[in-house]
Amino acid sequence: MTNEDIAIELFSLLDNIDTLSDVCKDDDKLFRKLAMREAAKRYDYATTDGYKVTLKTGVKSIDEPAANCTYKPTYALMYYNSEGKLVYVERV
């Protein structure tokens, strides 16, 4: 991945968290759970010692299948609020 690819992916994570704030506005506990899960994905693209951030430019995009992969299943986690309304879908 290039630095630009990483920047796009990291912005996407921020955008997803922003979307969660709208979707989960009536459920702070659900928002925190889903936002922290989304924020943890930043380590797919960078590492930190608490002071310095190092980008993982040598990694393949998580959307790129491995060279020997002929089948790539897709799964989704679906989250519902206390009223049974679908509030968030996460591809895993």
Question: Is 68 part of a structural domain of the chain?
Answer: no
Q: Check residue 36 and give its pLDDT.
A: 93
Q: Check residue 76 and give its pLDDT.
A: 59
Q: Check residue 32 and give its pLDDT.
A: 92
Question: Is 12 part of a structural domain of the chain?
Answer: yes
Residue indicated by tokens 């920047």: 7
pLDDT, tens digit, 9 for 90 and up, residues 26-39 = 889 989 998 999 99
Question: Is 27 part of a structural domain of the chain?
Answer: yes
Q: Check residue 59 and give its pLDDT.
A: 61
Residue indicated by tokens 């991945």: 1
Question: Is 21 part of a structural domain of the chain?
Answer: yes
CA distance 56 to 43: 9
Beta partners for residue 78, in sequence order: 89
pLDDT, tens digit, 9 for 90 and up, residues 48-85 = 888 888 888 876 655 555 555 554 445 556 677 777 77
Q: Check residue 25 and give its pLDDT.
A: 84
Q: How many domains does the chain have?
A: 1
The pTM of the full predicted model, rounded to 2 decimals, is 0.62
Tell me the pLDDT of the chain averaged across its residues.
78
